[in-house]
Structure 1
């Protein structure tokens, strides 16, 4: 998550990692528990920051005592060693300071250690050639944290960085014209995981699904359902299948369900009423299926927001007038454009030449609704990388409305390729696309979530369905589950 698209990163705690397998050493539990920064009481700095401060203070003391010459001190870097035998933390600070001090890095490291304070959480601190400072946390102190963890129960690990600030994470938001495909899986898992992290960090978080229930695609969806409904009654020829309509088996089945529920009652509706009825019936049933698909991954949305409501409630009209008064709109080629940056002008049509608002028009009204009308302090979007060109224009539109674009965070993610035992999988069992439900049914919710979170959002990845169910250390899900089982066994024996 780059800083460019993830302004809220400054509010997030350091990522917790379970270090496995543990160090050898019998009673030393330090490598079996989460990083010590999780144990610091609410409001205290992270322990990594504390240790960096100790090194800075030691450097200043060394300079004052004449151990080291005077020079400006840089920020201290602390790393988690890949090899746990090197300690819990390591700093290469002495290596970087050698050219300023004109001393061997190992001598600088030794001077730092000599002047370093020793709070109770520090164990062994050693200088290692060519000049690393290796730091091990006190095993006694770490063991004492076990009782803290037990006492805090479910609240353990929660911090108050957010201080109750309202943040909204809007994710998935796939068109409600079909079931969720596997293509939405990474979006779903990223959005839900981020919302959970923000909640644990003290933000008041809302999970929202934005429903594109307005516009031409929804009308085509309604006409497709009308055809499938009539066809189930043997009268499909009276309601031709629309151009670019939805032929999927899921919609054919929905037409049959509609016949079972209302019989032939909808055959006699006039054109305008039929469009409204089939739009409402189709959206209601498809949204219910999308909710069920999301819940297969243990994802529960707090709010389902209708794009149509932006127009019905006058939000779009209000925002359009604001932009017009602020001289942010221009008419060209019969359409209305948001001025924005010249190099992006081709993407900035707000109203088409036929009078229909674009998706961008809805986006502008939607961000105004989020930040002004509903008062969220942070609006977070999870988008596919193919939407990267929309980032700048949304932020530009927010600025044109007088809003701080730092309150908008857009996380871009790469799509995921699907394989089974190394061979590409492109079609589902019952359709030309692979549904999210099919994948979850095959490998389970936990495996799906875990696998999709093992790589950063901006990294391309492949999920192998065969590997995800394999019971061997080749499968990272199995490895973690095995580690969990081992830990549970230790706890049972210790009880």
Structure 2
């Protein structure tokens, strides 16, 4: 029995009590059952009696008595005890607990997926670094977290569109083009320009690919370097993202907002909502009505469009394309964007607490031999995604960057993340999967396979019960990770599951030794091992990390 099935059983007991006239209360849509920290309190616990007591006008323990009597009649429930003011502690019989292993193996890749966010349309924007250089370490963190979140949201039933916003208009693109032009002509980098080997490489690629470009006028040269440089840089970004296991459904060009008239249309729409005003020759959006620290300029007095105007048009574009919730994942230096972006949604007539989410990620540091690594050979003054992959690999980078809350600064220690020790958490989890795969191969060598005569009631030890309990939590962990937008919950769960498996391995013999016979217990434990291997693989896949069969 899974926790979800037990929750439905408790809900059915509530409904039956209401239908019988034992309780006068509205039946809740769902009931929460959780694993108690102290296993002496049973396999699962629920506080449903406390929730129903006040609206029913009945003492909590009296409600608990009614529900406990009905739950004890359910097949598979071994005991129901009432604790404290009215908590229900439920113990399942061993066969019912063990049956979960069969459920997981039969479900395969589908186990853990649920419909917690079914039908919710989410536009998930992440990374979105300016296309003026390689993806830096901060963007690498959002690549790992954002892609994992997209996978998790889809696993909870949401309709997700992942998006990269290309800031391909404005002054930074001009500086990028001027830097390429200077490199191609052997001139110093212009003030505020870009440096690094990648600038030289792209400049050479342009001069090789566009013969005669250096014979053009300076203005004509600049236009070529702008167009071709942007094309090459975007291609480089796409390459690095794909090699990091990140695929975006859409690369959205800021330039198209200006060229299509979307910016002007957005201003008109916001004016119709009553939040645009004219002052000192400029056009403003009154964002202070919705918590921003100051009103924002959309069009300057000289007629120049602001970045903020493009931000407004971009948000409206997301809504027009069907997004119900727009999630922005921004770097640590973008705290000031939170209120202004939320104000755009409110000015557009949306619910700023529901239709838009702005999440800020903190900084990342890298250490090698105890010293912070700050520079990249190729980019000159930043650590790039290719550097990270070269140093520690895709799996270690993705897992480590996704396993910590984005609210906290994170440190990647190259020495630890390239070691095969338990201190390296991705190794710890992947090794558990590899160990199970090795066991599977050894069983095959011995001619031992999982038997259809699975006897789950034989899984009686505390280590088996602990492992089954952890396996049952997987769907709930995915649901909460999706609802809270916190992929690190999946990573931490996998570490707990790997720990439970290692303890099981140390205390429970699975395969026969020497002349020992294959028993029903052998088959039962092979089912449990395969169920655990399935969940670890499913969880690692949600983080975009491989589940190796050998290490």
Same fold (TM over 0.5): yes
Could you tell me how far apart the structure 2 residues matched to 1:220 and 1:273 are? 15
Secondary structure in 2 matching 1:202: coil
Secondary structure in 1 matching 2:214: coil
2:363 to 393, 410, 415: 415
Deviations 1:244-291 (CA, angstroms, capped at 9, x unpaired) = 01122211222223233334x111223443232111111111111111
| Structure-2 residue corresponding to 1:210 | 165
Once the two structures are superposed, the pairs formed by residues 298-309 of structure 1 within 5 Å of their partners are 298-309=245-256
Contact 1:382 1:410 in 2 (8 A): yes
Specify which structure has the bigger relative contact order, considering alpha-carbon pairs within 8 angstroms and separated by 6 or more residues. 2
Cα deviation for residue 118 of structure 1 reads: 4.5
| Structure-2 residue corresponding to 1:447 | 396
Name which of structure 1's ranges 281-290 and 305-314 shifts more when overlaid on structure 2: 281-290
Residue 407 of structure 2 is aligned to residue 458 of structure 1: yes
Name which of structure 1's ranges 419-428 and 294-303 shifts more when overlaid on structure 2: 419-428
| Structure-1 residue corresponding to 2:324 | 377
Structure 1 residues 489 and 108, CA, compared in 2 at 3 Å: closer, same or farther? farther
| Structure-2 residue corresponding to 1:368 | 316
Name which of structure 1's ranges 170-179 and 446-455 shifts more when overlaid on structure 2: 446-455
Secondary structure in 1 matching 2:406: coil
| Structure-2 residue corresponding to 1:467 | 416
Name which of structure 1's ranges 354-363 and 186-195 shifts more when overlaid on structure 2: 354-363
| Structure-2 residue corresponding to 1:25 | none
Name which of structure 1's ranges 304-313 and 120-129 shifts more when overlaid on structure 2: 120-129
| Structure-2 residue corresponding to 1:357 | 305
Contact 2:197 2:377 in 1 (8 A): no
**Structure 2: stretches of 5+ with no match in the other structure:** 450-551
| Structure-2 residue corresponding to 1:435 | 384
| Structure-2 residue corresponding to 1:50 | 8
Name which of structure 1's ranges 123-132 and 143-152 shifts more when overlaid on structure 2: 123-132
2:344 to 394, 397, 414: 397
Cα deviation for residue 334 of structure 1 reads: 4.6
2:232 to 285, 289, 293: 285
Could you tell me how far apart the structure 1 residues matched to 2:137 and 2:359 are? 19
Structure 1 residues 292 and 82, CA, compared in 2 at 3 Å: closer, same or farther? farther
Could you tell me how far apart the structure 2 residues matched to 1:419 and 1:51 are? 51
Structure 1 residues 81 and 477, CA, compared in 2 at 3 Å: closer, same or farther? farther
| Structure-1 residue corresponding to 2:202 | 254
| Structure-2 residue corresponding to 1:21 | none
1:89 to 34, 39, 44: 44
Residue 127 of structure 2 is aligned to residue 178 of structure 1: no
Name which of structure 1's ranges 76-85 and 400-409 shifts more when overlaid on structure 2: 76-85
Once the two structures are superposed, the pairs formed by residues 59-74 of structure 1 within 5 Å of their partners are none
Could you tell me how far apart the structure 2 residues matched to 1:83 and 1:488 are? 32
| Structure-2 residue corresponding to 1:10 | none
| Structure-1 residue corresponding to 2:177 | 222
Cα deviation for residue 298 of structure 1 reads: 0.5
Could you tell me how far apart the structure 2 residues matched to 1:461 and 1:85 are? 37
Structure 1 residues 139 and 360, CA, compared in 2 at 3 Å: closer, same or farther? farther
Contact 2:123 2:323 in 1 (8 A): yes
Cα deviation for residue 94 of structure 1 reads: 8.4
Could you tell me how far apart the structure 2 residues matched to 1:146 and 1:466 are? 37
Could you tell me how far apart the structure 2 residues matched to 1:423 and 1:114 are? 63
Deviations 1:411-445 (CA, angstroms, capped at 9, x unpaired) = 33222232235433222344321112211222221
Structure 1 residues 98 and 305, CA, compared in 2 at 3 Å: closer, same or farther? closer
Could you tell me how far apart the structure 2 residues matched to 1:159 and 1:291 are? 31
Contact 1:172 1:382 in 2 (8 A): yes
Contact 1:54 1:117 in 2 (8 A): no
| Structure-1 residue corresponding to 2:217 | 270
Contact 1:58 1:116 in 2 (8 A): no
Could you tell me how far apart the structure 2 residues matched to 1:317 and 1:133 are? 60
1:312 to 240, 253, 259: 259
Could you tell me how far apart the structure 1 residues matched to 2:300 and 2:374 are? 35
Contact 2:327 2:359 in 1 (8 A): yes
Could you tell me how far apart the structure 1 residues matched to 2:339 and 2:278 are? 21
Name which of structure 1's ranges 47-56 and 311-320 shifts more when overlaid on structure 2: 47-56
Deviations 1:448-490 (CA, angstroms, capped at 9, x unpaired) = 1111222222233323222222222222212111221233344
Deviations 1:91-143 (CA, angstroms, capped at 9, x unpaired) = 4778999999999x9x9978864553443454454457898654344442344
Secondary structure in 2 matching 1:195: helix
Secondary structure in 1 matching 2:165: strand
TM-score under structure 1 length normalisation: 0.76
Could you tell me how far apart the structure 2 residues matched to 1:347 and 1:191 are? 30
TM-score under structure 2 length normalisation: 0.69
